[in-house]
Chains A and B, each alone.
Chain A
Amino acid sequence: MLKLLDGPQTLGRGRIFWSCFLAVLAGALIYPLFADSYDVGNFAYFLIWIFMALGLCLMWGYGGMLSFGQTFFFGIAGYGYGVLAINMGGGTATIAALVLSVVIAMIAAGILGYFMIWGGISGIFFGIVTLSATLVLAFFLGQTAGPEWHIGSARLNGFNGMKGMDPLTVGSFDIEGSALYYVMIALIVIVYIALRMLVNSSVGNVIVATRENPQRAEMLGYDVRKYQLLTFVIGSGLAGLSGALYTSWGQFITPSSIGLPAAAMPIVWVAFSGRNDLTATLVGSFLLLFGFQTITVYSQQAALVLMGVLLLATVMLAPQGFVLGIGKLVVDWWSRRRRRNESPALADAGRLQSDET
């Protein structure tokens, strides 16, 4: 099982990488002891979006399916959590609401994905069909202002959004502040490790083979549509997880977190970071969210203009992504320096050893 952590589909392997990983994790774990609770809440907020980015990275970078519909599933699960949490009452039922809302998003992804993938839609059309669905959902929710729009006792409230649901709660303990932060960290570690294992497993290899050449993968005997649907459902489910966590974090959700320009954000994060690698996406998305939040305080429009500039600059200058590119440069420089210091044979031996562990 653990062998799958390092493999051909993920960058970063061996003792150095995992030491860094553990160091960052340890830093993240002790962070709330030093920072004030406002900053911890802010960090938890950035971490919410990471799932969505990792899901898009899986679909786009590994599966070759450019989905513009991450916020569609974000919205379905976000509103789903709100409706369920309000109707089932607070308390431990919110955990069930979280799980159920993610399941609902995955079912929606299964249905939409079935029609698109079995219909043979790919490439550009995959993007614009998912984006159309996203925009229609945002328009629909935007006009549900009247009292006649309600599900159970949950009012949809149109453009102002739904509010009044309980945050995640176990018994009588609200998961907020640093507790929520730790839940996020745990979930991110689990999702990151699980995705690494997935893409390095035989299923992951088929997913990547489908990206490279669907016909060839099909000739080798795989029903590529099933693998694509699986990728789409997992990736969209992760967007759903982000949505449900978002609603529970702020106890509100509005249609503007679904429509434009929100729908473009996951694309910017993943494109800028480097869609072909989970680690690059994780690091890059976090940095972008951090920067975005810092600028948004002054002007949201300016922050969004910057996001547009980053997207344009990425495709024009570094189509594989900036974080991935810089990461590769650093690794190259590092290994060149090591090669200069040690004898080449020893360096190779070290690499072989770390592959085995």
Chain B
Amino acid sequence: MSAELFSVFYQFADVFAFLILSAAGLAIVFGMMGVINMAHGEFIMCGAYVTVGLVNLGVPLPIAQILAALTAGIIGMIVELLIVRRFYKRPLDSLLATWGLSLIVTQSMLLIVGSAVRGIGTPEGSFAIGGYTFSTYRLVLFFCAVAVLAGLYIIFMKTRFGVIARATMQNAAMAKALGARTGRIYSISFGIGTALAGLCGALYAPTMTLIPTMGATFVVESFVTVVIGGANVLLGTAPAAVFLAMIRMALNASYGQIIGQIGMLFAVILIIRVLPEGLSSVLVRRGR
């Protein structure tokens, strides 16, 4: 019995980790600046490629993954400086600009690197409970997702940067008037967001084939999680991921991946009819 229970938890943890890791970066950028980074998938791809490149050079996997996340973060801050910064007053245009960037990056990668690179296998290791065997790496991913949530909680709730960042989120003009350097806050937040995207790619790099268009496999999940999460991403993203992961897990188990994804999309479309502001609006109302 406990083996079955664990198996259900394991499947939930798998989907939950995927949703949190792919959405966290997008959610931070959206929550802070109201910008949806359409090149999010390309930062994920960047993280995956850097990881695989470094591992092939002989760097140990965990260190390669951290370096990949940092690389994506630095590239993100450069992109913010050159492009995204101009569009904070025009969120729709930021969508188009980052989509243009995404097209350029994906297709250039196809031109330069070609369609597939030699991957690195999933780290081996499995454990058995009852009659079932489970991959250890999938559990590692789950703990990484929880660690990302905990890390974001600490950064945004317990540090000085977090206080200023939340003030900027609530009212940028007022925060600026009180002396917060909002431009720098935005730049760092965008960097954190893209670093998280890079981390997602780095963590999933060993489990999938590396192709320049791999970002597309993550964006649907990250979009719907952010849509359901709502405007207050610090509050909304985690519950949204729990909720979607439950739907997805139930459908995956009985009908397979693609029906799981379609079902998740239908659930999202139904939910936005009832809760257009997302889950965080309900939570905020409860909190008052």
Contact = CB atoms under 8 A, between A and B. Distances in A.
Interface of A: 66, 112, 114-116, 118-121, 123-125, 127-129, 131-133, 135-136, 139-140, 143, 259-261, 264, 267-268, 271, 299, 301-302, 304-305, 307-316, 319
A312 B268 CA distance: 30
B93 interface: yes
Contacts of B108: 301, 305
B36 A140 contact: no
Contacts of A131: 219, 223
Contacts of B226: 128
Contacts of A135: 216, 219-220
Given A124-B95, A299-B111, A315-B87, A308 B104 contact: yes
Contacts of B105: 308
A119 B261 contact: no
B143 to A, nearest CB: 28
Contact of A119 (B95, B262, B273): B273
Contact of B91 (A114, A121, A124): A124
A170 B36 CA distance: 48
Nearest to B274: A119
Nearest to B26: A128
B103 A305 contact: yes
Given A127-B36, A264-B103, 18 more contacts: A114-B273, A115-B270, A115-B272, A116-B272, A118-B273, A123-B91, A125-B227, A131-B219, A132-B224, A132-B265, A143-B258, A260-B106, A307-B103, A308-B103, A308-B105, A309-B104, A312-B101, A315-B97
A116 B272 CA distance: 7
Interface string B102-135: 1111111011000000000000000000000000
Interface string B83-105: 10011001111011101111111
A302 B266 CA distance: 36
B213 interface: yes
Contacts of A123: 91-92
B36 A309 contact: no
Interface in B38-58: none
Contact of B272 (A119, A260, A301, A310): A119
Contacts of A267: 96, 99
A268 B38 CA distance: 14
A69 B110 CA distance: 24
Nearest to B82: A316
Contact of B276 (A121, A127, A136, A261): A121
A304 B110 CA distance: 11
A113 to B, nearest CB: 11
B147 interface: no
Contacts of A301: 107-108, 110-111
Nearest to A131: B223
B93 A302 contact: no
A132 B223 contact: yes
Nearest to B215: A260
Interface in B246-288: 258, 261-262, 265, 268-270, 272-274, 276
A309 B90 CA distance: 19
Main secondary structure, interface of B, reads: helix
B20 to A, nearest CB: 17
A304 B107 contact: yes
A118 B273 CA distance: 6
Given A131-B223, A132-B220, A301-B107, A319 B269 contact: no
B261 A139 contact: yes
Contacts of B273: 114-115, 118-119
B92 A66 contact: yes
B216 A260 contact: yes
Interface in B155-175: none
A136 B268 contact: no
Contact of A319 (B90, B101, B102, B272): B90
Contacts of B268: 129, 132
B152 to A, nearest CB: 21
A260 B213 contact: yes
B100 to A, nearest CB: 3
B232 to A, nearest CB: 14
Interface in B51-69: none
A118 B34 CA distance: 22
A259 B215 CA distance: 12
A339 B108 CA distance: 49
- The residue among B83, B103, B216, B272 with the most chain A CB atoms within 10 A of its own CB is B103
Nearest to B217: A139
A281 B99 CA distance: 20
Contacts of B90: 319
10 contacts: A66-B95, A127-B36, A128-B227, A131-B219, A132-B227, A132-B265, A261-B103, A268-B100, A301-B110, A308-B105
A127 B265 CA distance: 14
Given A133-B265, A135-B216, A299-B111, A304 B272 contact: no
